[in-house]
Amino acid sequence: MAVPDVRETYSGKVVTVTLGATAAEGGTRSVVVTLGGHASLPFLHFEGETRPPAIALEVMDAPPEGSEWPAPLAQAYGDAVADPVRWARKCVEEFGADLVCLHLVSTHPDRGGASAAKARETVLAVRDAVKVPLMVWGCDEDAKDNEVLPVVSQALAGERCLLGMATKDNYKTLTAACLADGHAIVGLSPLDINIAKQMNILIADMGLPPERIVMYPTTGALGYGLEYTYSIMERGRLAALAGDRMMAMPVLCIVGPESWGTKEARSDEVAGWGPAADRGPLWEAVTGTVLLQAGADIMLMRHPAAVKAVRGAIAGLAKGKEVQP
């Protein structure tokens, strides 16, 4: 008896977003990272083109504070966290990051409120220190981001960075900056697929093409809404593959910060939970491995052991199909 062919084919395709520009393209990166381009669900390369996600590592522009940087992270990064340039180099040279995400935490009013000029200085120093594509994440305080991010955007003009976050109530300034300086943008939605689509429509209406938009549908870590994140990402991807062009953008997952924000990853006080040194990286690795299969295109991560585990999972899932981001 013949075995029925159950492979699915889809009419739509996720757009391709390219980050980083080489000297020939007007930037200074030595590599570029390509996201998206999927014609099937994640890793089902026997059905159509699909591309594994890139891994970005987070670099804060000021040393992390207290509980946000538990012991396993402190051990992995040591005193590199005192200097964003050393931190970024470590991410690329030791931990193999595909991208560096510079998180401008120090610009937040509650964290010293560093000036746009200071942020510009840091961003340029990191740009010169590493040659992988850059993502820059503001401080999530609208007024301050609107002051800082356009300055940073202009400083990085031509580098084809990924800048975030645009939100439903605050997207115009950042979109205009990305348009002017040749960057891609991250549109944030709070675990809400309707707002995710609306963000894409709003940004596209300002003239930024879909090939320069990345969705951040909000990541819930293991035990904190991971299933919900998964189902929203999957539904969005299925809509994109069915032809909804306003859902056909690559997806960012903030795996590291969300995983390390859970008490299960951080706590070393609960008897029976096992050694914290393993538990935290595992929490991040499991969260990341699940989201791989939901359709993550960039995973923002923290712990090198978790990165290694996720890379291993990617290699296993992509077996027989050699496609590097």
Partner 1 sequence: MIVIGERINGMFKKVREAIQKKDAAAIQDLARRQVAAGADALDLNVGTASTDHVADMVWLVNTVQAVVSVPLSVDSARPEPLEAGLAAVKGKRMLNSTTGKEVDLGRLLPLAKRYDASVIGLTIDEEGVPANVDKRVEIAAKILAAAQDAGIPTDALYIDPITLPVNCAQDQPQHLFQAMQQFRMLSDPPPHTCIGLSNISQRLAEHQLLNRTFLIMCMAWGLDSAIMDPLDEELMRAMITAELLNNRFIYADSYLEAYKKH
Tokens encoding 77: 């990064």
Residue 97's CB is within 10 A of a number of other CB atoms, namely 25
* Separation CA 264–CA 223 (nearest Å): 9
Query: Shortest approach of partner 1 to residue 85 CB, angstroms?
Result: 41
Q: Torsions phi, psi of 101, nearest 5? A: -105, 110
Query: Shortest approach of partner 1 to residue 37 CB, angstroms?
Result: 19
Q: Torsions phi, psi of 62, nearest 5? A: -145, 150
Query: For partner 1, which residue of 198, 206, 305, 317 counts as binding (CB under 8 A)?
Result: 198
Q: What is the DSSP string of 103-141?
A: E-GGGSGGGT---HHHHHHHHHHHHHH--S-EEEE--S-
- Paired with 20 in beta bridges are none
Decide if residue 9 touches partner 1 (CB under 8 A).
Answer: no
Q: Which of residues 242-281 bind partner 1 (CB under 8 A)?
A: 243-247
Q: What is the DSSP string of 38-58?
A: -SSSTT-TTTS---PPEEEEE
Query: For partner 1, which residue of 202, 285, 307, 314 counts as binding (CB under 8 A)?
Result: 202
Decide if residue 191 touches partner 1 (CB under 8 A).
Answer: no
Q: By CB under 8 A, which span of 44-52, 99-107, 115-123, 192-200 interacts with partner 1?
A: 192-200
Decide if residue 239 touches partner 1 (CB under 8 A).
Answer: yes
Query: For partner 1, which residue of 54, 59, 100, 204 counts as binding (CB under 8 A)?
Result: 204
Q: By CB under 8 A, which span of 16-24, 79-87, 235-243, 299-307 interacts with partner 1?
A: 235-243
Q: By CB under 8 A, which span of 42-50, 73-81, 98-106, 239-247 interacts with partner 1?
A: 239-247
Query: For partner 1, which residue of 86, 120, 131, 235 counts as binding (CB under 8 A)?
Result: 235
> Any alpha helices (H) in the chain, and if so which ranges?
71-77, 84-89, 116-129, 142-155, 172-181, 193-205, 226-241, 255-259, 263-266, 276-294, 304-317
Query: Shortest approach of partner 1 to residue 44 CB, angstroms?
Result: 22
Residue closer to partner 1 by CB (options 229, 259) is 229
Residue closer to partner 1 by CB (options 4, 194) is 194
Decide if residue 193 touches partner 1 (CB under 8 A).
Answer: yes
Decide if residue 170 touches partner 1 (CB under 8 A).
Answer: no
User: How many residues bind partner 1, per CB under 8 A?
Assistant: 17
Query: For partner 1, which residue of 36, 64, 220, 236 counts as binding (CB under 8 A)?
Result: 236
Query: For partner 1, which residue of 38, 197, 302, 303 counts as binding (CB under 8 A)?
Result: 197
* Separation CA 37–CA 35 (nearest Å): 7
Query: Shortest approach of partner 1 to residue 234 CB, angstroms?
Result: 12
Q: What is the DSSP string of 213-232?
A: EEEE-----TTTTHHHHHHH
Which residues touch 276 (CB under 8 Å, ≥6 apart)? Answer: 70, 71, 72, 266, 267, 268
Contact set with partner 1 (CB under 8 A): 193-195, 197-198, 201-202, 204-205, 235-236, 239, 243-247
